[in-house]
Chain A
Amino acid sequence: MIYLLLFFEFFKTGLFSIGGGLATIPFLYDMADKTGWFTYAQIADMIAISESTPGPLGAKMAVFAGFQTAGVPGGIAAVIGLILPSVIIILTIAKFLKEFRENRYVCDTLYGLRPASTALIAAACASVIKISLFDIDLFNKTGKLSDLFIFFSIALAVAVFLLTNKFKKIHPIVFIAVSGVAGIIAGEAGLI
């Protein structure tokens, strides 16, 4: 029963991958070795496609892997398997949190968790900036400082930052769409 197997394998992945979608990747490699449902090259494709489509990365990896193996029902079985453990765990924690929000120790813990959470998000933000605005590989190859910066991306990021803070009413999706178009135009014009 392929659907049940897909569900079970991704259930295990969901249960043990802590810290976001990228944490599922090592489990996918194991799965490729064990089941032969997909190859390493297909995992690389999956990562590339996941990064260029909307939505949570882990869920998309599961859908893609499930689809490759057993079509649309396979994709659905895999994604439900992946999210089920965390849904159960979070529902349990949420209930606990609601009841104990007034508890002194819970408040003290949250006081410490909040700056840590913000710092981890800031760290993730730093790595996104590193990948998106700088070309470290090219810089290492040529050693030219001007190769380190992706000028188009930096200019666009600064422009979006200033505009989002000036026009707070405009929905972020507008900026995403405009930036996508700007990327296409810049590509046609040979700027990137």
Chain B
Amino acid sequence: MSTRNKSGSDNKKHIHLDLFLSFMKIGIISFGGGYAMLAFLQREIVEKKKWATNEEICDYFAIGQCTPGIIAVNSATFIGQKCKGIPGGIIATLGVVFPSVVVISIIAAFFKNFSDIAVVQNAFIGIRACVCALIVNAVIKLWKQSVVDLPALALFISVFCLSVFFGATSVVLVITSGIAGIIINNVRRGIKR
């Protein structure tokens, strides 16, 4: 983060706290795993805080698919690191898992059959439907940044079909697509020459 104005030094001091709180917020509101989190990342990090672009988020998710660990944590580490180096990465990561630690400890301590309660079940039927719409929105935003030409569209369609209909592993698909990216661009340069 550069110091742009008079309150710059102030911002700098608080950015660690800001990182923690922003990611904590994302940890609280993202129901339905790492992919649902995408919608909130776009809203909080890209549009409001401008800590990363949609393109970068797309890169982080791609890398998160083929490195070990939880995608939500991986993206938090990436964005935190980009803002404030290694401490930033650690702070953002702790922020994103903190609410889970609190919520799960409470549930594990007090509710034996939390998810059997009818009201909870019904609320989650509604929330799941909502999450569907939110993820579709997130995908549309990423689509605009990533499917930029015909070869990219071909890659999108192949990866989607291989994953949905043939159950291909994400790791293999991501690595192959990276190699395909190099080949496509080299062929293109060859044609130009």
Given contacts A119-B160, A156-B130, A160-B129, contact A57 B70 (CB under 8 A): yes
B128 touches A153 (CB 8 A): yes
Instruction: Name A residues whose Cβ lies closer than 8 Å to a Cβ of B.
Output: 14-22, 24, 45, 48-60, 63-64, 67-68, 72, 75-76, 79, 82-83, 85-87, 89-91, 93-95, 97-98, 105, 107-129, 131-133, 150, 152-154, 156-158, 160-161, 164-165, 171-173, 175-176, 178-184, 186-188, 192
A56 touches B72 (CB 8 A): yes
Category for how many chain B residues contact A:
35 or more
Identify 14 new A-B residue pairs, CB closer than 8 A, beyond the known A52-B124, A113-B174, A186-B125.
Answer: A45-B113, A49-B104, A55-B72, A56-B71, A94-B81, A109-B178, A113-B59, A113-B177, A118-B142, A123-B163, A125-B132, A153-B132, A160-B130, A164-B134
B99 touches A54 (CB 8 A): yes
A157 touches B129 (CB 8 A): yes
Residues of B within 8 A of A16 (CB): 68
Question: Complex: how many Å from CA A176 to CA B129?
Answer: 9
Question: Complex: how many Å from CA A187 to CA B134?
Answer: 22
Given contacts A48-B115, A133-B132, A181-B126, contact A83 B178 (CB under 8 A): no
Given contacts A115-B153, A187-B119, contact A89 B69 (CB under 8 A): yes
Option from A60, A82, A94, A184 in Cβ contact (under 8 Å) with B89: A94
B9 within 8 A of A: no
B159 within 8 A of A: yes
- Nearest A residue to B71 by beta-carbon distance? A20
B8 within 8 A of A: no
Residues of B within 8 A of A187 (CB): 118-119, 121-122, 125
Residues of A within 8 A of B86 (CB): 91
Of B29, B62, B133, B155, most A-chain CB atoms within 10 Å: B133
A22 CB to closest chain B CB, in angstroms? 8
Residues of A within 8 A of B128 (CB): 128, 131-132, 153
Residues of B within 8 A of A57 (CB): 33-34, 70
Question: Complex: how many Å from CA A121 to CA B62?
Answer: 9
A123 touches B126 (CB 8 A): no
Option from A91, A119, A158, A183 in Cβ contact (under 8 Å) with B81: A91
